[in-house]
Chains A and B, each alone.
Chain A
Amino acid sequence: MDERNWENGRNGPLPEMSLTIEELQALVCGFVSYPTIYKSAARIGFSSSLFNGPGEAALATFMALFTPLHDEHNIVTKNMFLTHITGLVNNHSLVLAPQVREQMLEEGGLVDLAFVGPPASVDEARGERHYIQSILRRFMNARLVNAGLKNILSTTTDNAAPSEIATVLDRFRKQAQAIKFVGNEAINAAPMPLPGENIILPPLARPTTISWIDNYIGGVRSGDVIGLLGPYAGGKTTMLSTIATRMAQQYAAHNENKLSVYICYEDGAQKMNWSFYSAAAHIHRDRFKNKIDSSAFWAELSTQETLRAYERNIPSNRNGEIILSETERWMAAAQWLNRHFVFLDFSASASTNFRGNGGVQEIVATLENLTDQTQMEIGCVFIDYAVLLVNREMSQQASTKYQEQVWRPLQMLPDELKTNVGIPFGCTVFLAHQLAQNDIKNIQPHRHVSHADAQGSKAFAENVHACLCLNKPDPETYVSTIHWSKIRFDRPAGGPFGLVKIDENVVDVWNAEDEYYINDIARKIMRKNEASPVAAPTAGAGRPGRRLQPLDRAEPSQPDIDTGFLS
């Protein structure tokens, strides 16, 4: 039953499927194979008398014989069971009807089936156990709660209600609640192993090769949900695009059968694709603008003969000697981007059949389809951005109870993403969210913002594993401060603050701490002095900053004297 829909008032409660005799047989066999399930059942009111339907006499007899044996010895073997029956029959304490005897004791009967034991494979045993528990829940709901309710209703006249109706209903509610959680045994998940035994270790952090992530949280871990908070037009989408393409690049470089999936609720392919291409191949943003058709775009891509000035300044081309042209970079990137990167247009437009209704289940279904289609695992999922995901889902629902309290589903969203996407798919989820402009408008660009600074973001960051807060960029340098305001699993050695620069030319974000610094007196982010051109290797006298002088060169007897402060 879709419990969430029922709770939201969209649909009435749907009846569960009727139990079949084969399922009841499986339940009885499951009690024998998995004694903890039987104990759970006994705790919530199971008894053999609940097998009261037609053709269930053998099951009722089996359980009536099994129960005292189990209660006394805690475990029941086939020999014990058969000896017990034989003893009772010989004492005339038990008379088995021929049909019951046939169903229970004949070859291939209930006893033979029940005492086979659980499957040897751990996974199969886990699956079977789960199946038995689901049958037990339906059985108890039907035979205990539903039957009890019917009994009360049928014994009450039309113009009367049971006395203490609230207490009676509460009893049934408690029973139903206990049934719902049957199988949730309290197991200590952290038994301390002895030396040499298997130990449960945290998942390995996978480096992203992005210094403003790796230097703070050591990389990304499967199952994590990482929040990215920033003001509007602050560079959130640029950051997500950078990480998404970089992860795809890594999967290709290390021959991993994984996908980097970008889900955008804001804009569709027409407005987003260029940013992925620019992030992957470092193509100038202007190259995509004001083009009438594709041929105009391709004609403008530079080659080795027509390199552009900006290409010497992009971070990957700064060596000054080997410059890859736009065409070369495009060709190199297309190979891995097409294989390891997927953009899911969730902009709810007609072209995508209005995909992007919001909610986590839509993402789960799409990702499942994607893994089936491509036969690839999901490595990372990037969601741009949280409020649209939540608002679209809320607008679909008839209930408007929480329409004005968007913080509540926002608070739940990271947890939902973790349990439905991160853990089942074994991937990392990046989730972008806006910092409310009103709350941070007085925080200057050279300061650091935190998720606690804005009202809607506190709830958002509560359930994420790590939260990166990005301030608006400094208007002169276009450098932004970053603050890892929440880190659950690690503590960065250098503190949680840093500087990043959103590249002016291409979609890229890089660590800017070695080139820029925060000047507290000027109250802005300033560029460090440019390093002066370094002299040729033959020049100089071993002064710091100069190249190493040839070893055969004579050392000057008296070193140079600075014309500066100490002269």
Chain B
Amino acid sequence: MRLQEVGVTEKRDGQYLDHDWYHRLTARQLEAYIRYLFIALKENAYDLDSPAQVQTRIQWDGGTDNFGTKRKKVWNRIATAIRRVDAIPGTWLAAHFSPAFHAVRVAENKGFIDNRPELLCSHESIEVYRQHIDNFDSITLERCAAAEFSVATQMNLLQSVIKNPDDLILYIVADKTNVNATPFFRHAFAAEAGCQRAVNRYITQAALEYDMNQQLYDALAARAENAWWISPQLKQVVESNRKYWSAYHG
């Protein structure tokens, strides 16, 4: 009998924003979650209905390819690697698309390397995970400072050109070349300024970013000066996504 059927998960419905929410995922749910995150991060395919997410990839999902070669599923190996060290699955994935991954891989390979699922359960993965957590605070604070500076620059320059404040925020937040900010901070600026159009534009990626690194962001956002980073709407989207994965019919 599954936990869902006896109502165990139902009791914790309000706790999807807990840091240990992933403990309630079954093995299949966790694999599906990992697969979604990997493809979203690697191929910018954030929508679960996008072709990149929907199509079966034999070399990753398992099966027999056109040459008759049988391939095993890779996602369960990643899940095992994560569980073995009691890591946070989202953070593990984020680490492998973070500067830490390139730093470790550059040292190992003396060059840039394309990411693939097998590298998420390699023997360097734990080092990547550790470095990501170690460097997260400094990198995030630097990114926030850079984002603030570039947004302030554009605000000063454009407020005489674009008169409507809402339009101004949308224009600046979505400016890819003059504003050096990650989607998480673009969303944060938009939410802080109350520009719903800009919020809508970046909330998917920002929610994914927050979902993966929730513990790390929460620790930074506990400081008063960073409290504006995480909007209630962002939490709602994360909660909604986690509900989906917790109920995933895997």
Contact = CB atoms under 8 A, between A and B. Distances in A.
Interface string A530-567: 11101101000111111111010001001101111110
Interface residues of B, number: 83
A23 B233 CA distance: 77
A517 interface: yes
A544 B153 contact: no
A542 B178 contact: no
B153 A209 contact: yes
Interface of B: 28, 31-32, 35-36, 40, 42-57, 61, 98-103, 105-106, 111-115, 135, 138-139, 142, 145-146, 149-150, 152-154, 156-158, 160-162, 167, 170-171, 173-180, 197-198, 200-201, 203-204, 208, 233, 236-237, 240-241, 243-245, 247-250
Contacts of A252: 156-157
Contacts of B198: 319
Nearest to A481: B112
A520 B113 contact: yes
B99 A332 contact: no
B26 to A, nearest CB: 12
Contacts of B153: 209, 249-250, 253-254
A529 B149 contact: no
Which bracket fits the contact residues of A? 35 or more
B150 A508 contact: no
B145 A318 contact: no
A492 interface: yes
A319 B45 CA distance: 19
A531 B51 CA distance: 10
A494 interface: yes
Nearest to A316: B175
A532 B247 contact: no
A532 B146 contact: no
A98 interface: no
A547 B31 CA distance: 23
Nearest to B243: A542
A315 B174 CA distance: 8
Contact of B241 (A494, A515, A529, A542): A542
Contacts of B36: 544
B244 A532 contact: no
A534 B178 contact: no
B77 to A, nearest CB: 15
A215 B147 CA distance: 11
Interface stretch (A131-139, A268-276, A321-329, A393-401): A321-329
Given A517-B42, A520-B113, A548-B237, A534 B47 contact: yes
Given A207-B145, A211-B180, A495-B103, A517 B170 contact: no
B94 to A, nearest CB: 13
A260 to B, nearest CB: 14
A336 interface: yes
A73 B158 CA distance: 69
Contact of A529 (B51, B102, B150, B233): B51
A448 interface: yes
A209 B53 CA distance: 34
A494 B107 CA distance: 11
A214 B201 contact: no
A529 B50 contact: yes
A493 interface: yes
Contact of A497 (B106, B179, B180, B203): B106
A494 B99 contact: yes
A231 interface: no
Interface string A173-212: 0000000000000000000000000000000000101110
B176 A318 contact: yes
A422 interface: no
Contacts of A531: 44-47, 50
B182 to A, nearest CB: 9
Contacts of A548: 203, 233, 236-237, 240
B149 A207 contact: yes
A496 B111 CA distance: 9
Interface string A400-412: 0000000000000
Contacts of A530: 44
A529 B44 contact: yes
Contacts of B50: 529, 531-532, 545
A225 B55 CA distance: 50
A565 B56 contact: yes
Contact of B49 (A254, A515, A532, A565): A532
Given A253-B153, A531-B46, A532-B47, 13 more contacts: A331-B161, A448-B112, A493-B135, A494-B103, A508-B177, A517-B42, A518-B114, A520-B113, A532-B50, A534-B204, A535-B47, A543-B244, A565-B61
**Closest 3 CB pairs between A and B?**
A494-B99, A545-B47, A319-B174
B208 A532 contact: no
A510 interface: yes
A528 interface: yes
Given A448-B112, A544-B208, A322 B167 contact: yes
B114 A566 contact: no
A324 B161 contact: yes
Nearest to A447: B111
A531 B40 CA distance: 9
B122 to A, nearest CB: 15
Nearest to A532: B50
Contact of A528 (B44, B161, B167, B244): B44
14 contacts: A207-B145, A209-B178, A328-B161, A494-B100, A496-B106, A510-B177, A528-B44, A532-B50, A537-B200, A544-B36, A545-B204, A546-B47, A547-B200, A559-B248
Interface in A98-117: none
B205 to A, nearest CB: 9
A315 B146 contact: no
A524 to B, nearest CB: 11
Contacts of A214: 146, 180
Contacts of B160: 332
Interface string A319-347: 11110100010011000100000000000
Nearest to A526: B114
A453 to B, nearest CB: 13
A30 interface: no
A497 B113 CA distance: 10
Nearest to B56: A565
A332 B156 contact: no
Contact of B170 (A211, A322, A494, A551): A322
Given A209-B146, A316-B177, A545-B49, A494 B161 contact: no
Given A253-B153, A332-B157, A555-B243, A321 B170 contact: yes
Interface string A508-519: 101000110111
A518 B248 CA distance: 33
A319 B31 CA distance: 34
Contacts of A230: none
B160 to A, nearest CB: 8
Chain A CB within 10 A, most for which of B51, B61, B112, B160: B112
B54 A544 contact: no
A528 B157 contact: no
A223 interface: no
A449 to B, nearest CB: 11
